[in-house]
Structure 1
Amino acid sequence: MSLLNVGSRALLANQVALQTTGNNIANVNTPGYSRQSVVVQTMPGQFTGGGYIGKGVDVQTILRNQSDLLTRQATAAAAVDAGNSARSQSLLQLQDVFSGGTSGLGTAINSMMNALSDVVSSPTDMTARNVALTSMDETGKRMVAASAQLDDIASSVNEQLKGDVNTINQLAQNIASVNDQIARAKGNGQPPNDLLDQRDQLVRNLNKYIQTTQVTADDGTLSVFVAGSQPLVLGNKAGSVSIGDPKDFGAASGQKSLLFQQPGASSMQELSGTALGGGEVAGLLSFQNSDLQEGYQLLNRMATAISLSLNAQNELGLTLDGSMGKALFADVAPAQPTAASTNTSAASMGVTFSDPTKLSANSYLVSFSSATTGTITTQPGGQPENFGGPGQPTLAGYFSSHGLQSTLSGPPNAGDQFLVDPMKGAAAKMQAQQLSPTQLAAASPVNAQMGAANAGTLQLASLNATGQPATTGFVPPPSPVLPATTGGGVTLTFASGPPATFTVAGNATPLMDVSATPPVPLAGPPYTYTAGQAITIDGWAITLAGAPKAGDTVTVGNALDPQYGDGYQRNTGNATALMNLRDAKMFDGATLSDGFASAMAQVGTRTQSAQYAQELSSSLAANLEGDRTAVSGVNLDEEAARLIQYQQAYQASAKMIQVAQNIFDTLITSMGH
C-alpha cells in the first residue's frame, strides 16, 4: 500500500505541474500574467526499525514568479514615461502654432512692416497704401487664427484630462474590489495568484495616468497613494479625483488643478502639480499650466506690442485728407488684475499699458505681506521678487520697468494676492481697423524750414511726431496768428560755440531728455547741440546734421498751416517712423521683426527638451520592463522543456502505480492459495 500511495502522490503532483505549465503556455500573451511554478515538498518519512521510509511527495503551493522591487521600479518608470510622452506630444502641437514658412505669423508681420517702405517711397500711391493696409489685415487675421489654435489645444487637453480622471477613478474602484477579493481569499492559506496579477496590472495601468506609491497591508490588501501621501485606495475603499480651476483665482488663471477626495471624505482638496510626479495627467497639467500659458503670453505680447506701437504712431501722423490718424488695430484694453478668493480686504488693483517695448511675456502673482510690501512672482515658473522694502522697487516702480502702470485702491491686508495678466486675450482681438488707403497716416504733422540766412552746414536728418514724453503727448507747433499766413511755429536759434548751443522759442512745454527713465528736463537754456542727436520738443523729435553758425535757425511748424500748402500729402515722416518700428527693440531685446523668431526659438527649445526627456524616460522604462518580464514573463521554450519533463515524470508515476498494483495482485493471489 505504501508504494501505491507514493505513486499516487507523485502522479497527482506531476499532474498539477503539467496543469500549471499548460496554464503558463495558455497565458503567454495575457497582459500582467506572472509565470507560475509548482513548489513540491517531501512527505515526512515513516519511522521503522530499519530507519525512515519515504512516503512520497506533496504539492506545497503554486508559486507566482515575480519581484516586488522590479515591479515597482518598472511601474514608476512607466509613469514618468507616460507623463513625458503626453507633454512632448502636446508641445509638438504648440510648436505647429509657432511655425515658420510663408503661411506663418512671422512672415505676415515682416510683410506688413516691409510694405510700409513702398509708402515711404511713394506716399500718394494708392496701391502701395492698399498693400500696406491689406498686410495689416492679414497679420491681424493670422494672429486671431493662432490664438484660436491655442484655444483648440487647451480644449483638447482639458477633454483629455477629464477622460483620464474618469479612467483613474474606475481603476481605483477596480483595485479596491480586487483588494476585497484578495483579503477574502487569503483565509484559505494560499496566495490567489491570478488576483494578485490582476491587481498588479491594474496598478500598472493606473500609473500610466497618475504616479502612485503602494503599501501592502497584513491582510493582503494594497494601499495606493498619489501626490506623495494622499490615499487613493485604502483596503476596499477608493477615493476619486477630478479636474477643476485653481481655488485662488479660478478660471481667470487659465490653469487647471487636480482635485482629490479621500475615501469616505466629503470635501475636495487641490493637489500640487509638482507633487504628482509622473503619469499622463501630470504631463498634461504641466503642459497646460506652463508650456501653453507661455505660448499664450508670447502671442498676446506680440499682439499687444504691435497694436499699441503702430496705433500710437499712426495717431501721430496725418492722413491724405489732412486729419490726424486713427488706430490701425482694435484698441488694446488691458485685462484688469484678479483678486484672490482668499483676500480679506476690499482693496483692488488696476493696470494700464505705459511702454509696449518693455512688456514681458508673463503674468504676475502679487502677494502682499503688508499694505506696501510683498513679493511678485512671474507666471509661469518664476522666482519671487521682493518689493516695497529698503533698496527694493515699489510696486509701481516694478511694473513701470515692465511697461505697465499700476494703481491700488485701498490698502491690502497681509496675505492678499492679485493675479496680473494685462495682455490676456489680446491676440484674439487683434483686428485691422483702417481699410481705406487714405486713412494711413503717412505724413508728419510737423514741417521744418531752414533759415534763409543760415551760413552753417545744418541739414535736416529726420522730423516726426513721437508723443514723448507720454505725460504731455504731442502738441502741434503754434500756427500763424490770423490774418497772417506765414510765421508761427517753434524756432531753434543756434550759437556756433564751441560747444554749439541753441535756444527755443514758441514751444508749449519744457524740453525733456526722453532717454532717461522717467524723462527729465533737459539742462538749459541754452541747450547743447550734438549733430545726429534727436531733440525732443512738445512730443515731436527733430534730428539735425552738420555744424551751425551763429544765428542759424530752424523753424518747425504745423504741417497743415496754409504756408505749406498740400506738401503734407507728399510728406513721409510718419510712414518712415512706422517703418522704423520694424527695428525697434521690443521683445526682450529682439526687434519687432525678429519677435516671432524669438518666440519660435523659445517654444522650440521647450519642445526639444521635452522630446529628449521623453526619449530618455522611454528607454529607462523599456529596460526596467524588460527586467521585470525576465522574471515574470513566460518563456515558451522553457515551458515546452518542462512540459516534456513533467510528462515523463507523470508517466513514470503511472508506471509506479502499475507496478504497485501488480505486486498487490500477486500478494493477494499468493495468500489465496
Structure 2
Amino acid sequence: MADLLNIGLTGIRSSRNNLTVTGHNISNIDTPGYSRQRAEQVTNSASYHGYGAMGSGSRTEVINRVVDKYAVDQVRVDTSRAKEAEIYLENISQIDNLLANDSSAPGNALNDFFDALQTAANDPLSKPARELVLSTATGMTQRFQTAYDRMMEQNDAINTQLSSIVDRVNELSSSIAKLNDEIVAAYGKGAGNPPNDLLDSRDEKLRELSEYVDVDVVEQDGNSINVMIGKGQPLVLGGDAQRMAVQTGQGDIGRHDVVFRDPAGSSQVVNQLLTGGELGGLLRFRENVLDRSLNELGRTAMVFADAFNEQHQQGKDLNDALGGDFFKDINSIDFMQSRANGFQTNGAGPGAGKLQVALTDLSALSTDEYVLQGDGAGNYTLRGLDGTQYNVAANAADADHPNDYLTFTDSSGNDLGFEVSIPNGLGSENAADKFMISPARSGASQLETVIKDINKIALRGGNNDSLSLTSSEVVANSSNDATNAITLDFTAASDITNIPDNAKITYDDSAGTAGTGGFVLEYTDQDGVSQSVTVDAAVGSTPATLNFTLTSGETLEMNYTGGALAASNDSDNWTFSRSFDGGELIQGSQGTTGSAAVTQATDIIPSGEISYDGTDYTLSYVDANGLDQTVTVAGAGTGNTVFNVDMGDGSTQVLSINFDSAAAGDSWSLMPEGKSGNANGLELAGLQRDKLVDASDGGGSSLQESYSQLVEFVGNKTSQARITNETNNAILGQSTQLRESISGVNMDEEAANLVKFQQAYQAAAQVIAAAQTTFNAILSIGR
C-alpha cells in the first residue's frame, strides 16, 4: 500500500505545482514583459518486478518560461525602429509647420516685402507705399528671426531630451547589470534551474532600453549577457555598466554631445555611433534636418541682405543722397564673430570671439560647416564635418584687411565664399586649438532693418544714370566695308524705364515677315523668360527708326544711322547694358529738334537745358551750391560735344553728348531721374527673380526658389517620416502580437488549466484515500 500512497502523493505534488504555476500566470497577466510559465511534468523512475516495470508516479522536473528568442529579439528591434521614427516625425513636423504655415513662413513675408517694394517703385513719391515697404521689411525680418528662435528653442528642447534619455539609459543599464548578477546567482542557488521572473525582468529592461537606442545582446557563459548599443558601443558587460553623459558641444555649446565616460574620467563623443530609438531619432533629426534648415534659412537671409544693400547703395533717396544699408551690414563685427566658436578643449590661445568670419562671395556660400585648426606655427587646416579637407591660404594684412586673414578654396580651386580674420596675428593659437566655423547658421537671426525714415529708401537711379550701346559690326564673308557701316543709338522717344539688361540686336538678311531682312532683339523679360522681337528692315532699305515692342508693353526705339542695308550687314550686332534706367535723358524741344544722345563717356547728367544758336552749344544748370551756371562749347551742329561741368563743390565732371543734324534754335532738356524716379526701385524689386543663391557656377536659385527648396526638402522628409512611422508601428504591432501569441497569458486557457489541475489534484487525493481504505481493510482482517 505504501507504493500506492506514494504515487498519490506525487500526483498531489505535481498537481499542486501545476496549480501554483497557473495561479502565478493568472496573477501576472498584466505584468509588462511577463512570459507565461509552464511546469514541465515527467514520470518518476519505475521499479522492476518479475511481472514487469511498476510506475512510481510523477514529478515536476522544471518550471520554464514559454518564450521564443527570435520573437523577443524582434520586438526589441521593431521597438527601436518605431520609437526612432516616432520622435523624428514629432520633431520634423514642427519644422514643417513653421516653414509652410502661412502665418509663420518667412517665405511668405519675403514675397509680401517684394510686393510692397514693387508698389513703391510704381509710385515712388507715395508715402503710404514707402511706409508699407518699411512695415513689411520689419515683418519679414521678424519672421526670419522668429523662425530662427523657434528652431533654436527646438534645439534646446533636444538638449533637454538628450539629458533625460541618457539618465534613463544609465538607470536601465545599471538595472540590467544588477539583474545579470542576480540571475547568475539564482542559477547557482537553483541548481541550474532558470529564474524565470528575473529573466523576464531583464528582457523587459532590454525592451525598454530599445525604446531609446538600438540594442544588441550577446549571451555569455554563466547566463549573463553583454549589451551593445548603436554601432557596437558596449553599454553592459556582465555585472558592469558603462556610464553615458551629455555635455556641451565641443565646437558649439548650443548643441550638446552624448559621450561615454570610462572609469578614468575621460569622455568619448559618440553622437555618430548611436542609432535607433529616441536617442538615434533626435540626433538624426538634429543633424539632417534642424542644422540644415538653420543653415539654409540663414544663407537665404544673408544673400538677400547683401544683395539688397548693394543695390540700395546705388540708388538715390528723396533727400538726393545715395542710398545706404537698408539692412544691417552682414559683416558687422558682432555678426562676423558669431560665426566662429572655439572648441571647449582649446588651451590658452585666443578665444573664439577674436576670430572673425567675413562673408565675401555670397554666390559661392554653401550651407556647410567646418572645423579650423592651427598648428601654432601659422599653418591651418580646414575640414568639413564630413572630413573633406580644403585648401587654406594665409594672407597678410592689407588695405582691405586690417588683420591677417585666411582664404579657402575647394579641390577645384573654387572659393568657399568666406574668409577668416585673426586680429592677433597668424600662428598665435595653440597647436591643438580648433574652431567651429558656421558661416550661415545664425544668418536668419541677423536680418535686421536699419532704415527707419521712409525718405531714405533709395528708389531713384544713382549718380551715373546712363545707358550705353556698343556696336560690333560683323560683315559676313567679307572684310568690314565702311560703305555699309551702320550704327544704332537710343532715341528720345524710347520708353526706356525697363530696357532689358544684357540684350542683343542682330541684323539678319533673311528675317522679317517677307524673309527679306530684319533687326532681331533678343532679351530676357521681367519674368526671366527669353524673348525675341523682329522689326522688318529689308536689304536695300534705309530705316529711320526701329521700334521694338517689349512684352512689358513698352517700346524700345532705336535710331538708325548709315547707308542702305546690304547683304554684307548680315550678322551685324549690337549689345547694350545699363547701370541704371535713367528715364528720358535727352528730350528735344524747339527748332528742328535734331536728335541727341548721352554717350558712354559721361560722368554725370545734371538737370538742365542745352540750346544751340547755330554756332555754340550752351549748357545751363544749377550747381551743388544752388547757383545758376552755364557752359558754352563751340559746335558745328553735329558730332560729339564734351561739356566740362563745374559742380560747385571743387570737382569737374564730364558730360558727353552726341548731336545729329542740330540747327539754330534747337534746344534740349536734360532729364535725369527726378525725385519721382524709380529705376533703382525696379532693380531692387527685380532681386526677387535674380539667381542669387548658390550662383557661383552660373546657375543658382532665386531667393524664393531657395526657400521653396528648403520647404520642399522638409515637406518630403516629413511625408517620408509619417509613412515610416506608420509602417514601423504596424510592424511593431505584428511582432508584439507574435510574442504575445507565444508567451502571453491567455485567461481562458489558464481557467481551463485550473479546472484540469484541480480535478487531477482531487483524483490524486482519491488515490491516497483508496490506499488508506485498502490498508485499513487489510488491518481489519487480523482483528
Unmatched segments (≥5 aa) in structure 2: 394-405, 469-485, 502-570, 586-593, 608-620, 623-669, 695-699
Q: Show the counterpart of 1:159.
A: 160
Identity %: 25
Deviation at 1:208, TM superposition (A): 0.6
> SS of the residue aligned with 1:582?
coil
1:575 maps to which of 681, 685, 694? 681
> SS of the residue aligned with 2:265?
coil
- The CA distance in 1 between the partners of 2:457 and 2:595, in whole Å, is 40
Q: Show the counterpart of 1:209.
A: 212
Query: Do the aligned partners of residues 534 and 456 (structure 1) sit closer, same or farther apart at CA in structure 2, a change above 3 Å counting?
Result: closer
Query: Do the aligned partners of residues 283 and 574 (structure 1) sit closer, same or farther apart at CA in structure 2, a change above 3 Å counting?
Result: same
1:141-178 deviations in Å (ceiling 9; x for gaps)? 11111111111111111111111111111112222222
Q: Are the aligned partners of 2:489 and 2:597 in contact in 1 as well (CA < 8 Å)? A: no
Q: Show the counterpart of 1:173.
A: 174
Deviation at 1:417, TM superposition (A): 5.9
- The CA distance in 1 between the partners of 2:430 and 2:577, in whole Å, is 46
Q: Are the aligned partners of 2:45 and 2:56 in contact in 1 as well (CA < 8 Å)? A: yes
> SS of the residue aligned with 2:221?
coil
Residues 408-487 of structure 1: matches in 2 within 5 Å?
Answer: 410=426, 418-446=435-463, 448=465, 456-459=488-491, 461=496
- The CA distance in 2 between the partners of 1:159 and 1:2, in whole Å, is 70
Query: Do the aligned partners of residues 422 and 153 (structure 1) sit closer, same or farther apart at CA in structure 2, a change above 3 Å counting?
Result: same
2:369 maps to which of 363, 370, 395? 363
Report which of the two structures shows the higher radius of gyration computed on alpha carbons.
Answer: 2
- The CA distance in 1 between the partners of 2:769 and 2:319, in whole Å, is 120
Q: Show the counterpart of 1:613.
A: 724
Q: Are the aligned partners of 2:582 and 2:672 in contact in 1 as well (CA < 8 Å)? A: no
- The CA distance in 2 between the partners of 1:580 and 1:228, in whole Å, is 51
Query: Do the aligned partners of residues 640 and 339 (structure 1) sit closer, same or farther apart at CA in structure 2, a change above 3 Å counting?
Result: same
Deviation at 1:17, TM superposition (A): 0.5
Deviation at 1:560, TM superposition (A): 6.6
* Equivalent AA in structure 1 for residue 51 of structure 2: G
Deviation at 1:57, TM superposition (A): 0.5
Q: Show the counterpart of 2:126.
A: 125
Query: Do the aligned partners of residues 449 and 651 (structure 1) sit closer, same or farther apart at CA in structure 2, a change above 3 Å counting?
Result: closer
- The CA distance in 1 between the partners of 2:93 and 2:724, in whole Å, is 14
- The CA distance in 2 between the partners of 1:186 and 1:639, in whole Å, is 27
1:562-584 deviations in Å (ceiling 9; x for gaps)? 55699531211111111110111
Q: Are the aligned partners of 1:456 and 1:552 in contact in 2 as well (CA < 8 Å)? A: no
**Are 2:324 and 1:326 equivalent residues in the alignment?**
yes
Unmatched segments (≥5 aa) in structure 1: 467-527
TM-score (structure 1 length as normaliser):
0.79
How many aligned residue pairs are there? 590
- The CA distance in 2 between the partners of 1:367 and 1:402, in whole Å, is 17
- The CA distance in 1 between the partners of 2:584 and 2:264, in whole Å, is 77
Q: Are the aligned partners of 2:259 and 2:271 in contact in 1 as well (CA < 8 Å)? A: no
Deviation at 1:655, TM superposition (A): 1.3
Q: Show the counterpart of 1:625.
A: 736
> SS of the residue aligned with 2:41?
strand
Deviation at 1:542, TM superposition (A): 8.6
1:293-319 deviations in Å (ceiling 9; x for gaps)? 011112211221121111222122111
Deviation at 1:230, TM superposition (A): 3.2
> SS of the residue aligned with 2:63?
strand
1:641 maps to which of 738, 752, 760? 752
> SS of the residue aligned with 1:260?
strand
Q: Are the aligned partners of 2:230 and 2:276 in contact in 1 as well (CA < 8 Å)? A: no
* Equivalent AA in structure 2 for residue 270 of structure 1: V
Deviation at 1:246, TM superposition (A): 4.0
Deviation at 1:180, TM superposition (A): 2.5
2:246 maps to which of 239, 243, 247? 243
Residues 251-650 of structure 1: matches in 2 within 5 Å?
Answer: 251=253, 254-262=254-262, 264-273=263-272, 275-333=273-331, 334=336, 335-338=338-341, 351-365=357-371, 376-377=383-384, 384=388, 387=391, 396-398=408-410, 401-405=415-419, 410=426, 418-446=435-463, 448=465, 456-459=488-491, 461=496, 531=574, 533-534=576-577, 553-554=598-599, 556-558=602-604, 567-588=673-694, 589-650=700-761
> SS of the residue aligned with 1:590?
coil
> SS of the residue aligned with 2:692?
strand
- The CA distance in 1 between the partners of 2:605 and 2:144, in whole Å, is 35
CA RMSD in angstroms comes to: 3.6
**Are 2:250 and 1:233 equivalent residues in the alignment?**
no
* Equivalent AA in structure 2 for residue 107 of structure 1: N
1:333-384 deviations in Å (ceiling 9; x for gaps)? 334444656789989975422233443233234679998897743x5xx573
- The CA distance in 2 between the partners of 1:259 and 1:223, in whole Å, is 19
TM-score (structure 2 length as normaliser):
0.68
* Equivalent AA in structure 1 for residue 718 of structure 2: T
- The CA distance in 1 between the partners of 2:70 and 2:780, in whole Å, is 62
> SS of the residue aligned with 2:764?
helix
Q: Are the aligned partners of 1:112 and 1:135 in contact in 2 as well (CA < 8 Å)? A: yes
- The CA distance in 1 between the partners of 2:288 and 2:467, in whole Å, is 57
1:269-328 deviations in Å (ceiling 9; x for gaps)? 22142x322111111111123311011112211221121111222122111011221222
Query: Do the aligned partners of residues 265 and 183 (structure 1) sit closer, same or farther apart at CA in structure 2, a change above 3 Å counting?
Result: farther
- The CA distance in 2 between the partners of 1:124 and 1:202, in whole Å, is 73
Q: Are the aligned partners of 1:533 and 1:543 in contact in 2 as well (CA < 8 Å)? A: no
Query: Do the aligned partners of residues 450 and 631 (structure 1) sit closer, same or farther apart at CA in structure 2, a change above 3 Å counting?
Result: closer
> SS of the residue aligned with 1:38?
strand
Deviates more, 1:608-617 or 1:554-563: 554-563
* Equivalent AA in structure 2 for residue 396 of structure 1: F
1:253-274 deviations in Å (ceiling 9; x for gaps)? x533211124x4432222142x
- The CA distance in 1 between the partners of 2:743 and 2:128, in whole Å, is 76
Query: Do the aligned partners of residues 529 and 416 (structure 1) sit closer, same or farther apart at CA in structure 2, a change above 3 Å counting?
Result: farther
Q: Are the aligned partners of 2:235 and 2:243 in contact in 1 as well (CA < 8 Å)? A: yes
Query: Do the aligned partners of residues 529 and 163 (structure 1) sit closer, same or farther apart at CA in structure 2, a change above 3 Å counting?
Result: farther
Q: Are the aligned partners of 1:256 and 1:289 in contact in 2 as well (CA < 8 Å)? A: no
* Equivalent AA in structure 2 for residue 598 of structure 1: Q
Deviation at 1:79, TM superposition (A): 1.1
- The CA distance in 1 between the partners of 2:221 and 2:311, in whole Å, is 76
Query: Do the aligned partners of residues 543 and 184 (structure 1) sit closer, same or farther apart at CA in structure 2, a change above 3 Å counting?
Result: farther
* Equivalent AA in structure 1 for residue 267 of structure 2: M
Query: Do the aligned partners of residues 353 and 457 (structure 1) sit closer, same or farther apart at CA in structure 2, a change above 3 Å counting?
Result: same
Q: Are the aligned partners of 1:211 and 1:277 in contact in 2 as well (CA < 8 Å)? A: yes
* Equivalent AA in structure 2 for residue 60 of structure 1: E
> SS of the residue aligned with 1:356?
coil
Q: Show the counterpart of 1:199.
A: 202
> SS of the residue aligned with 2:688?
helix
Query: Do the aligned partners of residues 7 and 574 (structure 1) sit closer, same or farther apart at CA in structure 2, a change above 3 Å counting?
Result: same
- The CA distance in 1 between the partners of 2:121 and 2:270, in whole Å, is 58
- The CA distance in 1 between the partners of 2:105 and 2:330, in whole Å, is 23
Deviation at 1:217, TM superposition (A): 2.8
Query: Do the aligned partners of residues 158 and 295 (structure 1) sit closer, same or farther apart at CA in structure 2, a change above 3 Å counting?
Result: same
Deviation at 1:4, TM superposition (A): 0.6
* Equivalent AA in structure 2 for residue 572 of structure 1: N
Q: Which one scores higher on RCO, CA 8 angstroms, separation ≥ 6?
A: 1
Residues 109-124 of structure 1: matches in 2 within 5 Å?
Answer: 109-124=110-125
* Equivalent AA in structure 1 for residue 758 of structure 2: Q
Q: Are the aligned partners of 2:461 and 2:673 in contact in 1 as well (CA < 8 Å)? A: no
Query: Do the aligned partners of residues 529 and 91 (structure 1) sit closer, same or farther apart at CA in structure 2, a change above 3 Å counting?
Result: farther
Query: Do the aligned partners of residues 368 and 159 (structure 1) sit closer, same or farther apart at CA in structure 2, a change above 3 Å counting?
Result: same
Deviation at 1:15, TM superposition (A): 1.3
> SS of the residue aligned with 2:459?
coil
Deviation at 1:45, TM superposition (A): 1.4
Query: Do the aligned partners of residues 239 and 345 (structure 1) sit closer, same or farther apart at CA in structure 2, a change above 3 Å counting?
Result: closer
- The CA distance in 1 between the partners of 2:149 and 2:449, in whole Å, is 17
